[in-house]
Amino acid sequence: MLSLWLRRVARPAIIFSLLLSGSGAMASGLQVSPISLNLQARENASGLTLSNSSDEAINAQVRVYQWSQDETGDQLTPSRGLLASPPMIKLNSSDKQLVRIIRAKAPPQGMEASYRILVNELPSKSPDQKAGLQFAISYSLPVFVQPVGTVKTSPQLQWHYSLQPDGEQITLRVHNSGNGHAKLIGLSVVDTAGTSVNIHQGLLGYVLPDATMNWTLKIPPSTLTSGTIAGKFKVTINGTETIQDVTLDTADR
């Protein structure tokens, strides 16, 4: 299994995995658009556009992995459920290339299927390459395949937390009993007076269907009353800002 985010490859190249939130992913050289895919059950394929904004030719590799989550976090395993065509690309300066993402097996039943596409810019091995570190870019793009049927997929989240011994951090546990993923952005505690105290800015992460994710977060003392969260969580789920009840784990009462 592969780590989903920052990974180190053969020296002297270093790959940066980007956390993506816009409509396209940009870096010096390799660019990818869009930054996520959603295939309906009736769709057999979708596509990514790779482009090269640098002055030199670059090589890129596209791989597809099944995406799951367990008690240790995100996991990727090789998969033939989706195929990338072509999987290896050479892009000259200003070139663009369409990569087809092809569904290679029947759509899922009842629950959304999750994949990750890894797009890697391969380090140059030119004999006249400059001395020093070589940097290459890696994109990790989520892909969701919708199940057969007309029922719309959606997450159903249960929020629990426990206070760490230092009294300054919580372990947040979010379980998704729904049939669709949850993308969580921003996290604040809203007290009874309506005051919002930020805990986490930007992308917190995803919770896939029938999965549980854990995060350890630093919390301001003002968010606690007698060792418990003094309010509810405000968080954006799949683009919609919501208020969520949070429960102290029974073992910590």
Rounded distance, CA 155 to CA 243, Å?
Answer: 14
> Model pTM?
0.84
Rounded to 5 degrees, what angle do the CA atoms 212, 226, 250 make? Answer: 35
Dump pLDDT digits (tens) for 52-91: 999 999 999 999 999 999 989 999 999 999 999 999 999 9
Alpha-carbon gap, residue 62 to 183, rounded angstroms:
23
Strand partners, 79: none
Give the integer Cα–Cα distance in Å for 114 and 96: 27
The pLDDT score that the predictor gives to residue 29 is 86
157-252 CATH: 2.60.40
Amino acid 225: pLDDT:
87
At residue 253, does pLDDT exceed 90? no
Which pLDDT score is estimated for 132? 52
Please count the other Cβ atoms lying within 10 Å of the Cβ belonging to residue 137.
Answer: 21
DSSP 184-211: EEEEEEE-TT--EEEEEEEEEEEE-TTE
Topology match between the domains 7-145 and 157-252 = yes
pLDDT band at 170 (very low <50, low <70, confident <90, very high): very high
Instruction: Provide the CATH number for the domain formed by 7-145 in this structure.
Output: 2.60.40.10
* Every domain of the chain and the residues it spans: 7-145, 157-252
